[in-house]
Amino acid sequence: MDLQTTIYLFVGGTFALYIGIAIWARAGSTSEFYAAGGSVPPVMNGMATAADWMSAASFISMAGLIANMGYGGGLFLMGWTGGYVLLAMLLAPYLRKFGKFTVPQFIGDRFYSKSASTVAVICLLTASLTYIIGQMTGVGVAFSRFLGVSSDTGIYVGMAIVFAYAVFGGMKGITYTQVAQYIVLICAYIVPAIFISLQLTGMPIPQLGLGSNMVGTDVSLLSRLDQVIVDLGFGKYTTTTAGSTLNMFVYTMSLMIGTAGLPHVIMRFFTVPTVAAARSSAGWALIFIALLYTTAPAVAAMAKYNLHATVNTGINANADLYATESSLKAEDRPDWMKRWEKTGLLKWEDKNGDGRIQYYNDKTKSEAVLGKAEAAGWKGNELTVNADIIVLANPEIALLPNWVIALVAAGGLAAALSTAAGLLMAISAAISHDLVKNVFVPNISEKNELLTGKFAMAGAIIVAGYLGLNPPGFAAGTVALAFGIAASSLFPAIMMGIFSKKMNKEGAMAGMLSGLFITLFYVFAHKGIFFIKGTEFVDLIGGPNSFFGITPEAFGAVGALLNFIVAFVVDKVTKEPPVHIQAMVEAVRVPRGSKAVTGAH
Amino acid sequence: MDDGGKAYWSATLGLLSWIMAVWFVVTFLAGIVFAPELNSIHLGGYPLGFWFAQQGAIYVYIALIFIYKKMMGDIDRRFDVHEE
């Protein structure tokens, strides 16, 4: 069977499965629609949370980023998993005990203020909408590369599929579909990694393969990789840090508290039956996430090695990398390179006109490397590789069979669709439950609330699809913004709501707003006001990364710190929260008496 | 809050503090600040600091959540506030 047919078969088959599950798990009540009836077992909820969490960015881009960054890429690995420790201990069990459908509802009730809840809704909508744009573009990329249709057609098909199971199935349909999507995406990630690990190290488990010796030698893969890329002028793989140690520290912290504060992740813990189940569900989620996250560094290092070894034949032959015959002859380059050149994600340019490809770091400061390149007649790096290729082209680079490539296509789509559905759920609940029911039409009937939720979701799909079709110029910076907002506004507010009995509404509001403001200010200074080109005001704050060399992506933790400080200062000078609120906090802290989640006030 | 409630909450906070301490040490000390020093030790083919940042920390997080779940359950039962 040819590659195209195999891919259609795999993708078509998985889509049919998702729709089938959605029909089986239709939501009939608001409780099923928002919280899957609060009856999902912890292991299944963990799997669904993992699929919800691992987006197109985790699946497609992360390994490529790590391959480029080396050791420093560990900040994504630790940041996006360590947040679950915070979530499991500081937020999830208490929010489950609180027993309501949404994050803004907790903030509104705990801080006895509709304004607080509205601020939370705004933070939630901004974070979720910016996040969803990335998923929709991911769907478009996967479709256009693998199915040979245009990216736009891909987005329409993606919208239709999500519409079918999210609008009719609600949280219940989404949860069970995500379980299936998790299985598809994890197989798609791990199967090629096993093959590649076997090829390079003879060890089938990629996590161990990364720490093993190269086949037939007593040199470890990582030290060989270090040696090769340093020889070509790149930074040493195992030690290159992300900016400075301080920046890596703050960046990791920002991703962790951002992860714990993202509403579409928190919401998953309203679907389990008990407080104890919320605790273990976070652990299961992390196990399922870790399967991918511990494989990613192996994929990154091995793909980087394979890529260099393909272009420079001196690497596998243990010959001089700067010898003329080491550089790959352009006419001998493998088919997958030609295929990816068409997408523009891989570019080759013969700068010195020798008909061979030279791939090295021409910006290096090492005189030795520049001298050797000069002597060999190299006139600059000739190959540029987009980070997203690393995972998508991985099976092709390693010359794996067609069904593995088809599996990766289905996996990429599963990752993007499952995250999009989870985000849509959070958006729909915020609009229908926190805005319409809570603020505008308090006595809305359950039937009408359900209907509003479905309309809100359909509307959100159309907006997300539109933004995916016409990606605003700021798409690249937006995911950082989503984490920044979650870290600087939502996480501190929820945490203080649980751990400080005396925190009042004035403190919480002032904290949320100042955390949000300072984070937006720093991000906009670098990237433009609302990401509009030409409105950057980075000189005004003393140049790029002027705050102790911290990059805007890493700034969420600083915003969170300010949030805590402002909240405690304002809290000290204003009056205590009412007695019934303090009693509510005490009740939230103990597991006994947990009930099924409801939307009641 | 009655005395039992206070004792329960301080037992909870005690558990959370030491779990957070391990979380902090593994991530920020072993994985970031002291990673260059740890790299002189090797775990198979892995330099140790690199291993913490790209593998080890994640395994520790999983262990921490399940230890938390177990010990928190014990505290709940000790103070008789567990779910029936």
Cα gap B63→A85, rounded to integer Å: 10
Identify which of A90, A220, A294 has the shortest CB distance to residue B45: A220
The whole-angstrom distance between A246's CA and the closest CA on chain B is: 8
Predicted confidence (pLDDT) at residue A236 exceeds the cutoff of 80: yes
Tokens 């791990």 found at: A190
- Here the ipTM equals 0.95
The pLDDT tens digits of the residues spanning B1-29 come to: 577 888 999 999 999 999 999 999 999 99
Contacts of A249 in chain B (CB under 8 A): 28, 32-33
For B29, the closest chain A residue by CA position comes to A249
The pLDDT tens digits of the residues spanning B33-44 come to: 999 999 999 988
Instruction: State residue B7's pLDDT score.
Output: 92
Cα gap A278→A41, rounded to integer Å: 10
Q: Tell me if A222 sits within 8 A of A238, measured CB to CB.
A: yes
Nearest Cα residue to A334 out of A319, A313, A317, A352 = A313
The pLDDT tens digits of the residues spanning A276-301 come to: 989 999 999 999 999 999 999 999 99
Strand (E) or helix (H) holding B40: none
Predicted confidence (pLDDT) at residue A87 exceeds the cutoff of 60: yes
Q: Which of A19-28, A325-334, B6-15 reaches the highest mean pLDDT?
A: B6-15
Give the pLDDT mean for A167-195.
89
End-to-end CA distance of chain B: 22
Give the pLDDT mean for A164-191.
88
Interchain pair B31, A245: CB under 8 A: no
Give the pLDDT mean for A481-489.
88
Contacts of B61 in chain A (CB under 8 A): 81-82, 84-85, 286, 290
Q: Tell me what percent of the residues of chain A surpass a pLDDT of 90.
A: 34
- At residue A600, the 3 state secondary structure works out as coil
Identify which of A274, A297, A593 has the shortest CB distance to residue B54: A297
Contacts of B35 in chain A (CB under 8 A): 71
Contacts of B65 in chain A (CB under 8 A): 84-85, 88-89, 279, 282-283, 286
DSSP class per residue in A129-175: HHHHHHHHHHHHHHHHHHS-S-HHHHHHHHHHHHIIIIIHHHHHHHH
Identify which of A77, A223, A591 has the shortest CB distance to residue B76: A591
Interface of A with B in 46-75 (CB under 8 A): 66, 71, 73-75
In terms of Cβ atoms closer than 10 Å to its own Cβ (0-12, 13-18, 19+), residue B5 is middle
From start to end of A376-452, where are the E strands? 383-385
Ramachandran class of A477: left when φ > 0, alpha when ψ lies in -120 to 50, beta otherwise: alpha
Give the pLDDT mean for A257-286.
90
Interchain pair B62, A590: CB under 8 A: no
Tokens 């691992």 found at: A54
Instruction: State residue B33's pLDDT score.
Output: 92
Cα gap A330→A455, rounded to integer Å: 54
Instruction: State residue A600's pLDDT score.
Output: 59
Interchain pair B44, A88: CB under 8 A: no
Tell me the H-state helices in A40-73. Answer: 42-53, 56, 62-69
Instruction: State residue A582's pLDDT score.
Output: 92
Interchain pair A71, B50: CB under 8 A: yes
Instruction: State residue B1's pLDDT score.
Output: 54
Cα gap A267→A589, rounded to integer Å: 18
The pLDDT tens digits of the residues spanning A133-146 come to: 777 777 777 777 77
Whole-number average pLDDT of chain A = 87
- Beta-carbon contacts below 8 Å between A and B: 140
Rounded to 5 degrees, φ, ψ at A327 are -65, 135
Contacts of A586 in chain B (CB under 8 A): 1, 5
Interchain pair A238, B47: CB under 8 A: yes
The pLDDT tens digits of the residues spanning A45-69 come to: 899 999 989 988 788 888 888 998 9
Instruction: State residue A289's pLDDT score.
Output: 95
Q: Which residue has the higher pLDDT, A350 or A535?
A: A350
Nearest Cα residue to A38 out of A95, A117, A81, A79 = A95
From start to end of A277-401, where are the E strands? 328-329, 346-348, 356-357, 383-385
Interchain pair A66, B54: CB under 8 A: yes
Interface of B with A in 35-54 (CB under 8 A): 35-36, 39, 43-47, 49-51, 53-54
Cα gap A325→A29, rounded to integer Å: 69
Tell me the H-state helices in A354-393. Answer: 367-375, 389-392
Tell me, yes or no, if B67 comes closer than 8 A to chain A by beta carbon. no
Instruction: State residue A182's pLDDT score.
Output: 94
Longest Cα–Cα distance of chain B, Å, equals 55
Interface of A with B in 234-293 (CB under 8 A): 238-239, 245, 248-249, 252-253, 256, 274-276, 279-280, 282-283, 286-287, 290, 293
- At residue A66, the 3 state secondary structure works out as helix
Tokens 């705050």 found at: A547
Rounded to 5 degrees, φ, ψ at A422 are -65, -40
Tell me, yes or no, if A84 comes closer than 8 A to chain B by beta carbon. yes
Ramachandran class of A528: left when φ > 0, alpha when ψ lies in -120 to 50, beta otherwise: left
Cα gap A465→A159, rounded to integer Å: 7
* A161, amino acid identity: I
Within 10 angstroms of residue A548's Cβ, the number of other Cβ atoms is 10
Instruction: State residue A273's pLDDT score.
Output: 85
Contacts of A246 in chain B (CB under 8 A): none
Instruction: State residue B19's pLDDT score.
Output: 96
Confidence category of residue A472, pLDDT binned at 50, 70, 90: low
Can you read off the two tokens belonging to residue A376? 């060999």
Predicted confidence (pLDDT) at residue A475 exceeds the cutoff of 60: no
For A289, the closest chain B residue by CA position comes to B58
Tell me, yes or no, if B33 comes closer than 8 A to chain A by beta carbon. yes
The whole-angstrom distance between A213's CA and the closest CA on chain B is: 7
The pLDDT tens digits of the residues spanning A340-383 come to: 887 777 888 888 888 889 999 988 888 888 988 888 888 889 99
Cα gap A571→A560, rounded to integer Å: 16
Contacts of B84 in chain A (CB under 8 A): 592
Instruction: State residue B64's pLDDT score.
Output: 97
Nearest Cα residue to A89 out of B23, B34, B6 = B23
Q: Tell me if A308 sits within 8 A of A76, measured CB to CB.
A: no
Identify which of A82, A249, A280 has the shortest CB distance to residue B61: A82
Identify which of A82, A88, A213 has the shortest CB distance to residue B45: A213
Give the pLDDT mean for B74-78.
93
Cα gap A256→A243, rounded to integer Å: 18
The whole-angstrom distance between B44's CA and the closest CA on chain A is: 6
Cα gap A250→A242, rounded to integer Å: 11
The whole-angstrom distance between A320's CA and the closest CA on chain B is: 24
Confidence category of residue A601, pLDDT binned at 50, 70, 90: low
Identify which of B1, B66, B76 has the shortest CB distance to residue A586: B1
Contacts of B28 in chain A (CB under 8 A): 249, 252-253
Instruction: State residue A405's pLDDT score.
Output: 86
Identify which of B12, B32, B68 has the shortest CB distance to residue A245: B32
The pLDDT tens digits of the residues spanning A91-114 come to: 999 999 988 878 899 999 999 998
Q: Which residue has the higher pLDDT, A159 or A89?
A: A89
Predicted confidence (pLDDT) at residue A473 exceeds the cutoff of 70: no
Tell me, yes or no, if B83 comes closer than 8 A to chain A by beta carbon. yes
Nearest Cα residue to A127 out of A266, A253, A286, A258 = A258
Can you read off the two tokens belonging to residue B72? 């928190």
